[in-house]
Chain A
């Protein structure tokens, strides 16, 4: 089974900051890496799929990069509505697996 590791587990940032979250896979997953945003009491929301493709309706300040085992989610200018927990997920093989999450909090 493929293990996904995210860092950091939490971070504090201010509105307008550039934020970077990293995700690592225990084996190569090519570009089969997706990023989700989760807010308390709300459904998860797909932000980035295929490592770098922006899901329809997601603001362009979100971007993803990487391939193989190392991936990055970047928010270029953090907005108030971006404070949430972000999860990476591999869709390379079953069982599908999520990273542990990165909570983005207000500084």
Chain B
């Protein structure tokens, strides 16, 4: 059974940093693309970042480019999102998701339950 468990969310001040983790199990983590997406309170879904399987090519939404970094540790079956220079508009529930193949752009077939990030002073 595929399982994705996010952690690392919490309250952070504007300008601060946070690192999210996503522990994966139930599939061969290294060969699949992975993504982070978010949903701000009362808003729709927004794709944040993706990373391909194997080679690990990375991609970002314009809204987070230069501030967020996606990475993966295939030896630990874990996906990460390093978030720097956080802004109030980054407040959201952050989801990690697995893609249907190695491409970072493939459909997202399994999602975690999400972790809440709140950026406020």
Contact = CB atoms under 8 A, between A and B. Distances in A.
Nearest to B39: A38
A28 to B, nearest CB: 15
Which DSSP category, helix, strand, loop or mixed, fits chain A's interface?
Answer: loop
Contact of B35 (A36, A38, A96): A96
Interface residues of B, number: 26
B23 to A, nearest CB: 15
A44 B46 CA distance: 12
B61 interface: yes
A93 interface: yes
A59 B108 CA distance: 18
Contacts, number: 65
Contacts of B110: 46
B45 A87 contact: yes
A94 B109 CA distance: 18
Of A1, A32, A43, most buried by chain B (CB within 10 Å of CB) is A43
Interface of A: 1, 32, 34, 36, 38, 42-46, 49-50, 55, 85, 87, 89, 91-101
24 contacts: A1-B62, A32-B105, A38-B45, A42-B113, A43-B112, A44-B95, A44-B111, A46-B107, A46-B110, A49-B109, A87-B44, A89-B47, A89-B107, A91-B106, A92-B105, A94-B50, A95-B60, A95-B61, A95-B62, A96-B50, A97-B47, A98-B46, A99-B44, A101-B44
